């Protein structure tokens, strides 16, 4: 089965600026792929090329094995693109807005009424059907944007920062909506700066920096790649420096960093049993307030695997 999204050496240049450099990416049908990177890394450029809005300088992009550029007319019915801004037509009410776009997709009559009602229900906007679009909150406008691209039941969703600038409740509602879309079998490519939510939502992620794809694959694999040995966080009631001096003498301790609340202890490579740390400290009269292995999550992995550089 061909990949839902595939790029081969995809490159986009603006004069001397390389916005995207030889991107090789493969996203399988049903994947929810989180696209991570700083502003200017190439995320939006990639999504706009896949949405058939930009032509690459060279390389190839495919949607459901159709080539972007050569077969764009066949691709557009298969995709739903949500940009990071809402767009125009704010003088309409919600239902009228969706009916307008349904007509653009050649959905007419009773079928149009049913489709509009279905997407309003799915995005939890049915109670706002007669409300002016320009009176909606940002979170509701984002959900309306997703409702719009679901009208023609696309296979692939391209979402550029759909949770950007949303309040916490709206972000949670957006996350639950995207989970439901994934359960429906949609292939989702989503760019976001809210990494904990991507970790909860996506089965795969890609990290891009300065137009180059650094890592791609299951997010757990990327987290493992970012983990460099075992790091233990220890909280102490007092005498933090004395405790650090004691632990530095142990042959299984590679390094120690003092923090306001205690110590971050890095063990020598390959060592995973760190029970001796607590035993040694307690035997020498230190009072522990915290003792745990550092959790390496997607956010931590991103910080460790990138340099914070932009174009």
Place 62 in a pLDDT band, splitting at 50, 70 and 90.
very high
Q: Is the pLDDT score of 309 beyond 60?
A: no
Q: Are 83 and 49 in contact (CB under 8 A)?
A: no
The CA distance from 154 to 184, in Å, is 11
Confidence of residue 170 (pLDDT cuts 50, 70, 90): confident
Domain with CATH 3.40.50.300 in the chain: 5-90+152-225
Residue range(s) occupied by CATH 3.30.70.100 in the chain: 229-295
How much is the pLDDT for 175? Answer: 85
Given pLDDT bands bounded at 50, 70 and 90, which one contains residue 271? confident
Q: Which of the four CATH numbers 3.40.50.300, 3.40.190.10, 3.30.450.80, 3.40.50.1360 does domain 5-90+152-225 have?
A: 3.40.50.300
Please report which helix (H) or strand (E) contains residue 209, including its range. strand 204-209
Q: How many residues would you count in the chain?
A: 311
pLDDT digits over 106-158, tens only?
999 999 999 999 999 999 999 999 999 988 988 899 899 999 999 999 999 99
What average pLDDT does this structure show over 2-16? 93
Task: Give the confidence band of 310 by pLDDT, cuts at 50, 70, 90.
Answer: very low
**Across 205-221, average pLDDT:** 87
Closest by CA position to 21, among listed 311, 306, 301:
311
Render pLDDT for 79-95 as a digit per residue (tens, 0 to 9): 999 988 777 676 899 99
Calpha distance 297→248 (Å, rounded): 27
Assess whether pLDDT exceeds 60 at residue 203.
yes
Q: Determine the 3-state secondary structure of 84 from DSSP.
A: coil
Say which CATH topology domain 229-295 has. Answer: Alpha-Beta Plaits (3.30.70)
Which pLDDT value is given to residue 308? 52
């Amino acid at each position: 089965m061909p990949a839902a999204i595939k790029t081969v050496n995809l490159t986009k240049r603006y004069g001397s600026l390389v916005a995207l450099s030889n991107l090789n990416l493969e996203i399988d049908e049903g994947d929810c792929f989180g696209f991570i990177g700083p502003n200017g890394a190439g995320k939006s450029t990639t999504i706009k090329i896949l949405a058939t809005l930009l032509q690459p300088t060279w390389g190839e992009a495919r949607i459901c094995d159709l080539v972007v550029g050569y077969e764009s007319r066949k691709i557009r019915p298969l995709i739903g693109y949500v940009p990071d801004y809402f767009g125009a037509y704010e003088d309409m009410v919600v239902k009228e807005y969706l009916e307008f776009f349904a007509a653009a997709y050649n959905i007419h009559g009773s079928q149009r009424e049913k489709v509009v009602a279905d997407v309003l229900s799915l995005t939890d906007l049915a109670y706002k059907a007669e409300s002016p679009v320009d009176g909606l909150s940002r979170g509701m406008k984002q959900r309306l944007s997703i409702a719009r691209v679901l009208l023609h039941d696309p296979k692939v969703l391209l979402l550029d920062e759909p949770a950007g600038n949303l309040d916490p409740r709206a972000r949670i509602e957006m996350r639950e909506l995207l989970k439901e879309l994934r359960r429906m079998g949609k292939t989702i490519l989503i760019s976001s700066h809210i990494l904990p939510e991507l970790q909860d939502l996506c089965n795969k992620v890609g990290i891009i920096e300065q137009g180059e794809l650094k890592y791609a694959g299951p997010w757990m694999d990327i987290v493992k790649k970012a983990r460099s040995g075992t790091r233990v966080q220890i909280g102490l009631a007092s005498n933090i420096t004395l405790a650090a001096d004691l632990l530095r003498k142990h042959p299984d301790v590679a390094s120690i960093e003092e923090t306001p609340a205690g110590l971050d202890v890095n063990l020598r490579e390959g060592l995973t049993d760190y029970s001796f740390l607590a035993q040694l400290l307690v035997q020498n009269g230190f009072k522990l307030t915290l003792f745990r292995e550092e959790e390496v999550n997607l956010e931590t992995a991103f910080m460790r695997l990138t340099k914070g550089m932009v174009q």
